Homo-oligomer: A and B are copies of this chain.
């Protein structure tokens, strides 16, 4: 369906841009910047596909991702100075992206006949591990392990989907509700500066 594809592309665009910008802060070379953009956008889906044995992984079977990411990276590099004016739009794309990616991951888990808990894990991995791999390649401790409410939103959104199904909500509504809950929680967390407690001895 067209709606789904548009959102998927917007999410990919937002993830790729976030990767490009972080790689530029690290002063990588052109190849490094593009690869970090690429990995940020497809890393989560790739790890998900590997874990469930869904190979060749998704971006190898569909040119859309490669084209979207290369185009995005090119524009992001050229217009990086201007991107700060679009920060809010980028944040919205990124947030919509994680909402959608979460439920895509859940769906793939269901197709692989996994238990709900595993589907929730797969959804969270799909939405957040591109950023983890990005941070590792840039030699940083992944930001989602340190200070952002991000994975937590994915987990709660994906869990809501299964909860709604339990209450006999039709599958399509529960799916959309899951996406909206991820997006809503992330927006609220950022608006009110919520974060998980840091844990130490």
Contact = CB atoms under 8 A, between A and B. Distances in A.
Contact of A118 (B31, B60, B132, B198): B60
Given A63-B115, A114-B56, A199 B46 contact: no
A171 to B, nearest CB: 22
Nearest to A26: B141
A181 interface: no
A52 B56 contact: yes
A32 interface: yes
* Number of chain copies forming the complex: 3
Interface residues of A, number: 55
A198 B30 CA distance: 6
A51 B58 CA distance: 9
Interface string A121-157: 1000000000010001111111011110001100000
B117 A66 contact: yes
B24 A145 contact: no
Contacts of A25: 200-201
A107 to B, nearest CB: 15
A199 B152 contact: no
A71 interface: no
Given A80-B201, A200-B24, A144 B56 contact: no
